[in-house]
Structure 1
Amino acid sequence: MGIRVAVIPLGGEAVRLRPLTVETSKAMVRILNRPLLEFSIVNLARQGVEEILLGVRGYHNYRDVYDYFGEGYWLEREYNVRVRMRYMPRVETRGNAEAVKISLEYYGIKEPVLVVQGDNLFEIDLDAFYEFHRSKDAFMTIALKEEERLEEFGVAAVNEDMRILKFVEKPKRREDAPSKLVNTGLYILSEDFLGFFQGDVGAKLYREGLMDFGSNIIPSAIEAGLPVYGFVTRGYWFDVGSPDRYLDAALYLLSRLKPSDLASDEIAPRVFVQGTSPESLAFKRELKERIASGDVKVEGNVLIGRHVKLGRGVYLKDAVIDNYTVVEDGAEVVESAVMDRVVIGQGAKANRSIIGRHSLVGPRSTIVGSVLGDDVTVGSGSLLMGCRVWPHKVLGDGVRLENFVLT
């Protein structure tokens, strides 16, 4: 029997991902036209996970996740997977490890579990991960991923048996890093995990409120001599913790995923269009003809949601266009993600940017390297470069802003 239960701690305010998370749980930020968390849940359910415990803390996290997923029964209809979703009681936790501890205790879980971070997108062979964990008789096994950019992660020092000796947190220089293997935040915990807090080391951490896996639990467990091992995963892994990482993840997955992974049809090479209604089917036929005639120009990998309207002369390159969005005549979307119910005005351009839900970019405006929160209005003929704009802000016509944060 493999891993049956996964725990996903969801806390914090995701400051680095603002303005997308000012009013929205980071787990529910839309990516590739669905909430980020939906990818993880479906991925795990397809690998045999039957129960997911959500260690939610804070109003936005609970409201957004519960209102969308409920107990998860609808996922069977949508994805042909069966998984039950349950929620941590309302407790002010002092770190992600405490959210896991409370969830396991409350639901009486006394078996090995998988821990997943709510802002991660990943591909992992869960059976192989668990078999490695069992073969080592580990207290805890951490999925490690080889990365080139090490300065933002905890980097593992391991011996020849893949036992973790220590982590070097966010090494500033490459020579300070003991390897290229970083902590992904994917953990398998043994059935003895709760017992750790009955011992001297765990009890002290709990009393002092030091309940973060990366900063407290893992270093203390290693120092106490508990068997903590590293499993190297070869699949993709993204910590979607900033707008740049969001775009990197979205564009990478868009280049790799199959039409079925995106609930779409491939109407032209690497052009995926979602929707199954009669209107959606008609739109797919029409768009295929418009692309062939050059009326709409498409390059790279493009995902288009349901009930989208594309004007004449629209140019899309490596772009994500979410549901109910309107892209008017002559507009361009390049290496960008446009969320649902957005209007991109006539002749407007979005380049390497994220446009939040229900926002409006006026005619002839240009948005470069910027992030607009939800319900933002940008007037006509404006230019935003390297900006972040908080939800509900209104910018007039002809605005020029560079490297500016509008809160």
Structure 2
Amino acid sequence: MGVRVAVIPIGGEAVRLRPLTVETSKAMVRILNRPLIEFTIVGLARQGVEEIIMGVRGYYNYKDVYDYFGEGYWLEREYGVRVRLRYMPRAETRGNAEAVKISLEYYGVREPVLVVQGDNLFEIDLDSFYKFHEANRAFMTIALKEEERVEEFGVAAVDERMRILKFVEKPKRREDAPSNLVNTGLYLLSEDFLNFFEGEVGSKLYREGLMDFGSNVIPAVIGAGLPVYGFVTKGFWFDVGSPERYLAAAQYLLGNLGPSDLASEEILPRVFVQGTSPESLALKRELKERINSGDIKVEGNVLIGRHVKIGRGAYLKNAVIDNYTVLGDGAEVVDSVVMDRSVLGPRSRVERSIVGRHSAVGEGSYLVNSVLGNDVTVGAGAVLINAKVWPHKSVGDGVKLENFALT
């Protein structure tokens, strides 16, 4: 028996990822031409998870996730996996642990459960994770990841058997950290998890509303002497909590995943194009011919979605181009992501930036280290450096924004 049920808490406003999340659930932000959480759902289903409970809180989190995924039955047609998606009842929660508690109680789940965060992209051997958890008879097992920069995470102090003694939250210096093992937010909970909140320590946390795993529940569980273990995962793991981390995750995955993981065909070395319709097959043939002839210049790793139009002399380097996007003649996309149905004008350049959905960048404009929300218009000849533009906003022709947020 392995892990059958997973819970994904999806709450909060994802402030650090704005402007991408002003009107969109963080879990549904598109990455590699799919909603972020789709990678998690499919990955878990492929490892035997049969049921995933979405611990959604708030209007955008519920609406965006439910309207796209529904009960999840279409995933079998698309990916060949069978998984049932269920949703936490409408409730105000005071942390991700409360979302898990409500979900397990409502659906009567009394078995080991996997908890993953809605803004994480990860790769983990779930069978090994579960066997380690069972072998140690753990109340809770936390997936840990070796990181060089530990200052942004909770860092585990462990004994020789990998029992977690404590966490040091966001140590100011590397020397202050007890190890280089950080909390990934991937948890295996024993079937006794709900009973903890009926005891003295857990019930006190609940009464006081201290229901965040990292800040409240895990320290209390360790303090109560319950066995909490750390499982070191070797797979990739990204907390997609900011535009910088989003781009880092997109670039890593683009450089390391293969055609099947990218739902694409590799038409040339490290050039992936999605779609299987007659139009998509014709686009693949056209792009292959134009890249080979030099009409489109490509370097590094490139992912191109469906029904894309690319002008003559366009240049793509380590680029993600989403569905229905239009690139004008001479447009350049470098180390960047352009989301679906956007338009880049002739001779525009997007560098180390994210262009949100249905946005338009004018002729000759230059974006570097910048993020556009959805439905943004940037005029011709504009220059954006370290800038953020909120959804539905416009930047005029020739305007320069540097170190600025247009809200």
- For residues 2-401 of structure 1, what are the structure 2 equivalents within 5 Å? 2-401=2-401
Q: Give the CA deviation at 1:123.
A: 0.2
Distance (Å, rounded) in 1 between the aligned partners of 2:278 and 2:129:
43
Tell me the amino acid that sits aligned with residue 118 of structure 2: G
Gaps of 5+ in 2: none
Tell me which stretches of 4 or more aligned residues in structure 1 moved more than 6 Å.
none
2:204 & 2:283 partners in 1: Cα distance?
61
Instruction: State the alpha-carbon separation in 2 of the partners of residues 313 and 47 from structure 1.
Output: 43
- The 3-state SS of whatever aligns with 1:280 is helix
Partners of 2:144 and 2:232 within 8 A in 1: yes
Task: Return the letter of the residue paired with 1:199.
Answer: G
| 2:345 counterpart letter in structure 1 | G
Shift of 1:149: 1.1
Code of the residue aligned with 1:262 in structure 2: it is L
Q: CA deviation at 1:285?
A: 0.6
**Residues 282-313 of structure 1, C-alpha deviation per residue, up to 9 Å, x if partnerless?**
11111101001100000000000000000000
- 2:394 and 2:235 mapped to 1: Cα distance? 41
Q: Distance in 1 between matches of 2:127 and 2:279?
A: 41
Secondary structure in structure 2 of the residue aligned to 1:324: coil
Residues of 2 paired with 1:394 and 1:255: CA distance?
Answer: 33
> Over residues 251-301 of structure 1, what are the superposed CA-to-partner deviations in whole Å (9 max), with x where a residue is unaligned?
100111111111111111100000111111111111101001100000000
For residue 386 of structure 1, give the secondary structure of its aligned residue in structure 2: strand
Deviations, residues 361-399 of structure 1 (Å, cap 9, x unaligned): 000000000000000000000000000100000111000
Residue identity in the other structure for 1:268: L
**1: CA distance, partners of 2:202 / 2:277:** 55
* 2:390–2:406 contact (8 Å) kept in structure 1: yes
Could you tell me how far apart the structure 2 residues matched to 1:268 and 1:228 are? 47
SS of 1:261's equivalent in the other structure is coil
- TM-score scaled by length of structure 1: 1.00
**Quick one: distance in 2 between partners of 1:265 and 1:193?**
44
How many matched pairs? 407
Measure, in 1, the Cα distance between the counterparts of 2:67 and 2:375: 20
RMSD between superposed Cα atoms in Å: 0.4
Q: Which amino acid aligns with 1:176?
A: D
Output the CA distance in 1 between the equivalents of 2:24 and 2:92.
19
Aligned-partner Cα distance in 2 for 1:36–1:121? 7
Aligned mates of 1:231, 1:64 — CA distance in 2 = 33
Kept in 1, the 8 Å contact 2:151–2:171? The answer is yes
SS at match of 2:66: helix
Contact preservation (8 Å) 2:149, 2:174: no
Q: What is the identity, as a one-letter code, of the residue corresponding to 2:219?
A: P
Per-residue deviation at 1:21?
A: 0.2
Q: Distance in 2 between matches of 1:217 and 1:205?
A: 8
One-letter identity of the residue aligned with 1:129: F
For residues 356 and 175 of structure 2, the distance between their equivalents in structure 1, rounded to whole angstroms, comes to: 40
Helix, strand or coil for the counterpart of 1:313?
A: coil
Q: Give 3-state SS (helix, strand or coil) of 1:198's partner.
A: coil
**% identical aligned pairs:** 80
Question: Given the two structures, how large is their TM-score scaled by the length of structure 2?
Answer: 1.00
3-state DSSP class of the match of 2:44?
A: helix
Q: CA separation in 1, counterparts of 2:131 and 2:157?
A: 22
**Superposed CA offset, 1:213-266 (max 9, x none):** 000000000011000000000000000000000000001001111111111111
For 1:26, the aligned partner's letter is: K
Matched position secondary structure for 2:27: helix
- Give the Cα–Cα distance (whole angstroms) in 1 for the partners of residues 200 and 359 of structure 2: 53
